[in-house]
Amino acid sequence: MNIIEPRAPRSADGTPTVASQSLILGQRPFKRTTDESEQMAVDGRALGTPVVVWNGTGAGDTGGDWTRDGEGTETAGAAHSGTNGLDAGAMSSGDQVLFDNGTMIDVDGTYSELSFWINPQAYPLNSAFRVMWLDDSNVRIGNTVLVDDYVTNMDTGTWQQVAIPISDFNLTGNVRKLRFRFQSEDGQDFHIDDVELSPPGAGGPYLYRVEAPSVNVRFHISMLVLMIAEDETGWDDNKFANITALTKGLILRQRDLDLEEDDIIWKLNSKDNVDLFGRYHPQESFTFNNGKLLVGFMVKPGKASIIVTNKQILEFMVRDNLSTISNIRAYAHYGVEVISG
């Protein structure tokens, strides 16, 4: 009988290599990218005074600051605020809406967040509503982002605010135009209003991150835990902990920082307690003598389904005011794989 030995891994020149690895259990808190703090009970709103990109035209509008071009019609029925909003109409794949500042500006160095309000009228399966920045030659600068990655869902007939950190675009230079593009499926239809840019001010958005320390280390995630301590009352289904339902939502996501666009691998966005309990598995609660209710929420992925490297990272994004929550922190539990050779 011939026994076939398994082949050892080989380098590009055919030399056998050996990958040594050790799996060690670990736990790491999600830490804010700006100051390494762990406490997520913060005001993550962009607190600088917004600059209006577009808010319709009419007596009750403050917008029209940037020239609008492309698909859509301004109507009162499409307004979130003011007199008019944009009824994009039934789109064909590839159609777009453009907002032109008229000159090149440093968006990355001046602003922290792009926000706008949408009311989906139709969003067929597999649709893709994308946002990007262009220079004065209509060349895309930085990443394209998918609007779905920043909202809880695309409920038709419901207004919701989209808030995208400027850092997510990874802009590499100055820009002139903002482009909304409708791709993949015909028939997408949105009402769009209140397009704004917010400077940093004293607020967020804030990102809380877990990443591996080097290229030779990978974390195999066994569990993600979100801990919330708050007054025992106030856990209504349309709230988040004991505060009013979040306007933008708390996002947990995995990103691949090496990708030039669509770098979000997966995400969970929770705006109220229905979302929170629906997207995370709640653990047993504990009530302290001071009346604070501690609740743990868990995401427990399948074996090796979430791997974190120094580029494929995990993040919580705080874009709303969570400062009235007593305590909120998050942790990643994992096995450590060390690769060498």
**Distance between CA 30 and CA 224 in Å, rounded?**
10
For residue 167, the SS3 value is helix
Q: Give the residue-averaged pLDDT of 293-297.
A: 95
Q: What is the 3-state secondary structure (H, E, C) of 62-131?
A: CCCCCEEEECCEEEHHHCCCCCCEEECCCCCCCCEEEEEEEEEECHHHHCCEEEEEEEEEECCCCCEEEE
Read off the pLDDT of residues 127-171 as tens digits, 9 standing for 90 and up.
899 999 999 999 999 999 999 999 998 889 999 999 999 999 999
Q: Give the residue-averaged pLDDT of 228-250.
A: 92
Residue identified by tokens 């779905």 is 148
Read off the pLDDT of residues 9-21 as tens digits, 9 standing for 90 and up.
444 455 554 444 5
CB 112 within 8 A of CB 199: yes
The pLDDT of residue 92:
86
**Partners of 166 in the β-ladder:** none
Read off the pLDDT of residues 191-213 as tens digits, 9 standing for 90 and up.
999 999 999 888 889 999 999 99
Q: CA neighbours within 13 Å on the CB side: how many for 212?
A: 25
Q: What is the 3-state secondary structure (H, E, C) of 283-337?
A: CCCEECCCCEEEEEEEECCCCCCCEECCCEEEEEEECCECCCCCEEEEEEEEEEE
Q: Give the residue-averaged pLDDT of 46-70.
A: 86
The pLDDT of residue 100:
95
Read off the pLDDT of residues 264-279 as tens digits, 9 standing for 90 and up.
999 999 999 999 999 9
**Which of these, 206, 225, 207, lies nearest to 28 by C-alpha position?**
225
**Distance between CA 282 and CA 299 in Å, rounded?**
9
Choose the weakest-confidence range: 22-26, 52-56, 97-101, 176-180.
22-26
Residues of the chain with pLDDT > 90, as a percent, come to 71
> Does residue 6 carry a pLDDT above 50?
no
Which domains does the chain possess?
23-45+204-338 (2.60.120), 51-198 (2.60.120.260)
The pLDDT of residue 303:
75
> Does residue 32 carry a pLDDT above 60?
yes
Spatial neighbors of 289 by CB under 8 A, at least 6 apart, are none
The pLDDT of residue 167:
93
**Distance between CA 55 and CA 117 in Å, rounded?**
10
> Does residue 311 carry a pLDDT above 90?
yes
Please report which confidence band the pLDDT of residue 65 belongs to, taking 50, 70 and 90 as the band edges. Answer: confident
CA 227 distance to own-chain centroid? 20
